[in-house]
A = this chain, B = another copy of it.
C-alpha cells in the first residue's frame, strides 16, 4: 500500500518498498521558550532555520506545529506553510489539535498534505475527516479514544479498524490515505511499552497493511543517551513494518539507523544510497 503526498512541485511515496520516510520534527515550539516567544511576536525567522536544518539532515517531509500558548495559531500556521513552501519543496504534515488551525493550514497549502492527527473519538472523526476529504489530504490516525489509550495491541487494532471503517465508508477517504500511529510511549515509564508498540506495528501491518508513523523521540523520553535508544528503536520498528516517523533529521545517529534499515530491508537497491552517502561524508570530511 502506497501513501502519496505532494508539495506544489514534488511527490513523495510512503510504504510499499519505498525508502523509509523521515518527517522532520523540529518546526514546533513545544518545550522551546525562545521560539514560542518569537511566535508570539509573529516572528517566523526560527522556522526558516529549522526548515533548512531538517532539509540538510535529510528530512523527506516536514511536520509543522505552531502550538504556542497565547498565539494566533491559525495565522501562524498559514504564515509558516507559506514560508516553508517558498523555501523548500518537501510535502508538509500539518500538526495541530485545533480544527480551525488545520483548516487554515490546508487552505494555504499547495499540494496534498498529511493532517496530524485524528483519534478514534467520534467527535474528532466528525470534525477532521470531512476536512481531510475536502482537501484531498491524507491523515494520521491515533488508535485511542475518549476513554483510553489502550496498552494492548489487539485493542489498538480494534480502534484502528473503527477509524478506517468510518473514514472509508462514511467519508470516502482511501485507506492508503490513512497513516496509523501505533502509539510509541516512553520506555522510561514502563519498560514493557516499547514491545507493545512493536507488537502493534506487526499486527497492523499483517491485519490491515496500512502505512504507519510515530513520534520516534517519545520512546527515549526521560532516559540518558536518547539518540542510541532512538536509533535502536527505529531499526526494530522498521524491521517490524514501520514506514515513516516524525523525528529529528539533524541527528546523524538516527539518520544512519534509518538508512541502514532501508539497506537491510531491501529498500536500497544494490546499496547505492548507502554507498553514495558514505562517499559524500568522506568528501565532506576535513
Partner of A264 from the list B187, B238, B275 (CB cut-off 8 Å) is B187
Q: Mark A174-211, 1 if CB is under 8 A from B, else 0.
A: 00000000000001100110110010000000000000
**Interface hit among A49-57, A58-66, A126-134, A220-228:** A220-228
In the complex the two chains form, is B191's CB within 8 Å of A268's CB? yes
Is the CB of A163 closer than 8 A to any CB of chain B? no
**Interface hit among A72-80, A99-107, A150-158, A229-237:** A229-237
In addition to A224-B274, A235-B236, 15 A-B residue pairs with Cβ atoms within 8 Å of each other are A187-B271, A191-B268, A191-B271, A223-B271, A224-B275, A225-B278, A228-B257, A229-B260, A231-B231, A231-B260, A232-B256, A232-B257, A236-B265, A239-B240, A240-B240
From residue A40, how far is it (CB to closest CB) to chain B in Å? Answer: 37
Is the CB of A123 closer than 8 A to any CB of chain B? no
Q: Which 3 A-B pairs have the closest CB atoms?
A: A236-B239, A232-B260, A235-B235
Is the CB of A88 closer than 8 A to any CB of chain B? no
How distant is the Cα of A266 from the Cα of B260 in the complex, in angstroms?
24
Partner of A228 from the list B238, B256, B268 (CB cut-off 8 Å) is B256
How distant is the Cα of A228 from the Cα of B265 in the complex, in angstroms?
15
List chain B residues, Cβ under 8 A from A268: 191
Is the CB of A219 closer than 8 A to any CB of chain B? yes
Is the CB of A261 closer than 8 A to any CB of chain B? yes
What is the chain B residue whose CB lies nearest that of A267? B191
A237, A238, A240, A271 interface centre (most CB from chain B within 10 Å): A271
List chain B residues, Cβ under 8 A from A195: 264-266
List chain B residues, Cβ under 8 A from A263: 187, 191, 194, 223, 229
In the complex the two chains form, is A232's CB within 8 Å of B264's CB? yes
List chain B residues, Cβ under 8 A from A228: 256-257, 260
User: Could you name 22 residue pairs across A and B whose Cβ atoms are closer than 8 Å?
Assistant: A187-B263, A191-B266, A191-B268, A191-B269, A191-B270, A191-B271, A192-B266, A194-B265, A195-B266, A198-B239, A223-B263, A224-B275, A228-B256, A229-B274, A231-B231, A231-B232, A231-B235, A231-B260, A235-B257, A236-B236, A236-B264, A239-B239
From residue A84, how far is it (CB to closest CB) to chain B in Å? Answer: 30
How distant is the Cα of A271 from the Cα of B223 in the complex, in angstroms?
8
Q: Mark A122-149, 1 if CB is under 8 A from B, else 0.
A: 0000000000000000000000000000
